């Protein structure tokens, strides 16, 4: 089936692998597509791919996703198509696709190509972290950069990986029992919206019932801090599971059983999300602020598995909740795992959220609910993330005050999880107001109309005092200080703000 025999492995190992994959394929009744990917230690910048495909149409294409999807095919070389008799078929490259001459739907083809991992030679919007790169300890590929596919209805796609001896392979897919490095992938989306790592990295699996976090660490200095990184990630994971009352829940037809987080050593800190997965660069020797940004990014993106993927929203009017409230819980999580303390929390709140909120170019002119539509989300980060963060804080404080800290925004999250988690139904603004009202024995309608659907400045001076905090906004800085003699309730509300209860 595969034309070339890999050179780097003992023949018997190859034979076993080869026949077990053949048996595995034969055992499948359907004519599912299959891919064979070969990594080579001699030529780490070239990955060889062979695929057996049943044609749905005459077009071979790559992912439509990514910062510049039209670039994916530029790195595919020596693409060749053979028919079921082994004859080479003419293929014409047209824009970012390949058209097979005289292709007939239902026909079987063998496709082969080399992927040249030279992506880093040019600039990519958002950085190389979500694209593809080679390091001395291994190769990171996004499924977007690797897979050439045909059709759209393919299911249970088989993938087998051949590696140099010292290498291992990490992917977020379900493995096939008994056959190493062999996977069945549900559809094209999960094939291409994935992150893969082949190398001498370390893979740590954190299982939590039907969900697992696959943690991939690459680079000597990152590995030196393995325990610290794993401990922090486990604690963040457990904080969120406890907060929400359960694991991330997939909506029908989707998969949330595995999230993969790849952390590679780098000079700078960066991160990119693909599907349920996250590729990050962290500088293990960077200063505290650098480390903090990295962990904030991790904990923010990770919470989206619940607030964004388990709970899903009607439209961008609720992005203040999806992004801002996620950031609020990110800060709580980092407090609870001991990553930040109260002073650092105040600093993050002022420097990151308050500064960007009041300095947003449309502050006072554009409502946060309107700031996230189309391309505005990144242009108005301050209104959506900052405004949303403080809306979450105000609502949390009000619910806590009204119920003597018996309930909080945490309960709103848990109720939403129970009623909407893993279901098709989408959440809109009125649903959020309804759930918060019920929890807080109050009516947030005017609050939302004024500060989220309206353009008024968040009334921080009204709400922080619920936690016994004095607010000073002089010179556009958010300065919080404890009032001298706090009531027990104010003390509890502040602890709650930091995520304790």
The answer to whether the beta carbons of residues 237 and 337 sit under 8 Å apart is: no
How many CB atoms are closer than 10 A to CB 135? 17
Using a 10 angstrom Cβ sphere, with 0-12 exposed, 13-18 middle and 19 or more buried, the burial of residue 121 is exposed
Provide, rounded to whole angstroms, the least separation between the CB of residue 259 and Zn ion. Answer: 14
Is the Cβ of residue 270 or residue 323 nearer to Zn ion in the bound state?
323
Find the binding residues for Zn ion in span 111-140 (CB under 5 A).
none
Query: Are the beta carbons of 173 and 200 closer than 8 angstroms?
Result: no
**Part of the chain binding Zn ion (CB under 5 A), chosen from 248-256, 290-298, 322-330, 441-449:** 322-330
User: Residue 82 in 3-state DSSP?
Assistant: strand
| Closest approach of Zn ion to the CB of residue 239, in Å | 17
Q: Which segment (124-132, 237-245, 316-324, 429-437) binds Zn ion by CB under 5 A?
A: 316-324
Strand pairing report for 76-82 and 155-162: unpaired
Q: Which residue, 256, 181, 174, 263, is CA-closest to 216?
A: 263
In the bound state with Zn ion, the residue whose beta carbon lies nearer, of 323 and 410, is: 323
Interface with Zn ion by CB under 5 A: which range of 29-37, 250-258, 317-325, 407-415? 317-325
Task: For Zn ion, give the closer residue by CB, 323 or 360.
Answer: 323
Q: How many CB atoms lie within 10 A of CB 304?
A: 20
CB nearer to Zn ion: pick between 51 and 369 = 369
Surface-to-core class of residue 441, CB atoms within 10 Å of its CB (0-12 exposed, 13-18 middle, 19+ buried): exposed
CB of 323 to Zn ion, least distance (A): 5
Q: Which tokens is 198 given?
A: 């082949």
In whole angstroms, the minimum distance from the beta carbon of 319 to Zn ion comes to 9
The nearest distance, CB 495 to Zn ion, in angstroms, is: 26
Per residue, the 3-state secondary structure of 442-467, as one string, reads CCCHHHHHHHHCCCCCCCHHHHHHHH
- Spatial separation of the C-alpha atoms in residues 366 and 457, rounded to whole Å: 11
Position closest to Zn ion via CB: 323
Q: Which stretch binds Zn ion (CB under 5 A): 188-196, 278-286, 318-326, 471-479?
A: 318-326
Listed residue (314, 334, 386) closest to 355, CA to CA: 386
Footprint (CB under 5 A) of Zn ion, residues 323-382? 323
Find the shortest distance in angstroms from Cβ 385 to Zn ion: 8
* Segment contacting Zn ion by CB under 5 A, of 60-68, 130-138, 319-327, 457-465: 319-327
Is the Cβ of residue 133 or residue 381 nearer to Zn ion in the bound state? 381
Residues binding Zn ion (CB under 5 A) = 323
């Amino acid at each position: 089936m595969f034309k070339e025999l890999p050179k780097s492995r003992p023949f018997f190992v190859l034979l076993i692998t080869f026949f077990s994959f053949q048996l595995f394929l034969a055992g499948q009744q359907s004519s599912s597509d299959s891919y064979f990917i070969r990594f080579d230690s001699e030529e780490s910048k070239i990955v060889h791919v062979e695929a057996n495909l049943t044609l749905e149409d005459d077009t071979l294409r790559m992912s439509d996703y990514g910062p510049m999807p039209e670039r994916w095919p530029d790195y595919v070389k020596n693409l060749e198509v053979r028919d079921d008799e082994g004859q080479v078929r003419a293929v014409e490259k047209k824009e970012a696709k390949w058209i097979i001459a005289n292709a007939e739907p239902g026909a079987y083809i063998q496709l082969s190509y080399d992927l040249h991992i030279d992506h880093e030679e040019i600039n990519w919007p958002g950085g190389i972290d979500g694209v593809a790169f080679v390091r001395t300890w291994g190769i990171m590929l996004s499924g977007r950069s690797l897979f050439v596919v045909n059709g759209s209805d393919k299911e249970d796609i088989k993938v087998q990986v051949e590696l140099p001896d010292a290498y291992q392979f990490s992917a977020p897919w379900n493995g096939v029992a008994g056959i190493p490095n062999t996977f069945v992938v549900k559809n094209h989306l999960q094939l291409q919206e994935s992150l893969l790592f082949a190398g001498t990295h370390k893979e740590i699996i954190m299982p939590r019932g039907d969900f697992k976090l696959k943690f991939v660490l690459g680079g000597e200095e990152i590995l030196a801090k393995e325990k610290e990184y794993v401990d922090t990630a486990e604690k963040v994971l457990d904080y969120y599971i406890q907060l929400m009352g359960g694991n991330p829940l997939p909506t029908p037809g989707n998969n949330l059983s595995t999230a993969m987080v790849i952390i590679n050593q780098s000079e700078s800190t960066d991160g990119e999300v693909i599907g349920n997965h996250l590729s990050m660069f962290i500088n293990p020797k960077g200063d505290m602020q650098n480390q903090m940004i990295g962990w904030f990014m991790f904990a923010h993106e990770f919470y989206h598995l619940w607030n964004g993927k388990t709970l899903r929203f009607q439209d961008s009017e609720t992005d203040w909740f999806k992004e801002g409230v996620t950031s609020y819980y990110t800060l709580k999580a980092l407090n609870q795992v001991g990553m930040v303390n109260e002073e650092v929390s105040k600093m993050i709140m002022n420097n990151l959220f308050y500064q960007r909120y009041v300095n947003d170019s449309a502050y006072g002119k554009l409502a946060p609910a309107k700031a996230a539509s189309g391309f505005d989300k990144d242009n108005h980060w301050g209104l959506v993330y900052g405004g949303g963060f403080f809306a979450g804080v105000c609502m949390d404080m009000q619910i806590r005050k009204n119920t003597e800290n018996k309930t909080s925004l945490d309960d709103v999250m848990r109720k939403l999880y129970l009623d909407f988690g893993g279901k098709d139904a989408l959440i809109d603004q009125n649903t959020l107001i309804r759930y918060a009202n019920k929890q807080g024995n109050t009516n947030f309608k005017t609050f939302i109309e004024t500060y989220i659907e309206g353009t008024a400045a968040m009334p921080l001076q009204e709400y922080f005092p619920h936690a016994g905090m004095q607010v000073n906004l002089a010179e556009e800085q958010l300065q919080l200080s404890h009032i001298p003699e706090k009531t027990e309730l104010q003390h509890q509300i502040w602890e709650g703000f930091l995520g304790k209860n």
